[in-house]
Amino acid sequence: MKVRTLVLCGDCWHLAETVRRGLSPLGNAGFDFEYLADGAKCPAEMLDGFSLVVLAKANMVSPSDQRAWLKADSQMMFHDFLRRGNGLVVVHAGTSRYDDLPAMRSVIGGAFRHHPPPCRVAFEPKTGHLLAEGVAPFAADDEHYFVELDDAPADVFLHSRSEHGVQPAGWTRMEGGGRVCVLTPGHDLEVWLHPEFQKLLLNALRWAAKLNPVPVRVQTSR
């Protein structure tokens, strides 16, 4: 049986179609992706039908409506979803514009701060780490995300490097019995479809959905 997975995607900087095409090759790997581009149509109770969510949209309703879809009175939805033992994979835009929502920022383990103009970025997986299993270092033209990583126990398994500096680019953390994996690459389809990023995505999805036989080293936040 495939893992029913809700994919939240699409904002004024990141096309929902990019995410669709980027995840499409992984549908045969045991995931049933259901896409939602309108954040206003995602009440907390909608998550009840899923065991895994991919968040790949900045905090805005849609490309044509830049109002926040996740607000102070709804920001606990992912915290509660994870506390029920589910999984969340946050990709690129999913780290953006949530920094003023304490509960959501805590779930992610940090927040996007800024990025320089698109440039060549090298991605360096941590040797021997479960989430980097089978993944070789690679480079792509991307937005080099600079982030604030708040959660000291978060387990960083990927770094990004460009002429502008070095940043954590992939990490895991626990929220109760639920698993969170964050990947900051992914502005363009070229990155999503890069063979090494596809491996990272699959590792992240499998780990967050608890399909891996051996758990990665993580610590529960307090």
Q: What is the pLDDT of residue 212?
A: 66
Question: Which residue has tokens 């990004």?
Answer: 160
CA distance 158 to 3: 25
Q: Which domains does the chain possess? A: 3-208 (3.40.50.880)
Nearest by Cα to 92 from 6, 179, 197 = 197
Amino acid in position 73: D
With a CB cutoff of 8 Å and minimum separation 6, the contacts of 127 are none
Strand partners, 89: 54, 181
Q: How far apart are CA 137 and CA 70, in angstroms?
A: 34
Task: Report in angstroms the alpha-carbon separations of 173 from 106, 119, 149, 167, 181.
Answer: 10, 28, 11, 17, 7
Q: Is 49 helix (H, G, I), strand (E, B) or coil?
A: helix
Sign of the Cα torsion 98, 6, 74, 85 reads: negative
Residues 6+ apart with CB under 8 A from 116: 144, 162, 164
* 3-state secondary structure string across 85-150: CCEEEEEHHHHCCCCCCHHHHHHHCEEEEECCCCEEEEEEECCCCHHHCCCCCEEEEECCCEEEEC
Residue segments in the chain with a per-residue pLDDT below the cut of 70? 212-222
* CA dist., res. 109 & res. 114, Å (int): 16
What is the model's pLDDT at position 1?
A: 85
This prediction has a pTM of: 0.94
pLDDT tens column, 24-45: 999 899 999 999 999 999 999 9
For residue 66, give every residue at least 6 positions away whose Cβ sits within 8 Å of its Cβ, in sequence order, or none.
11, 12, 60
User: Would you state the pLDDT for residue 216?
Assistant: 42
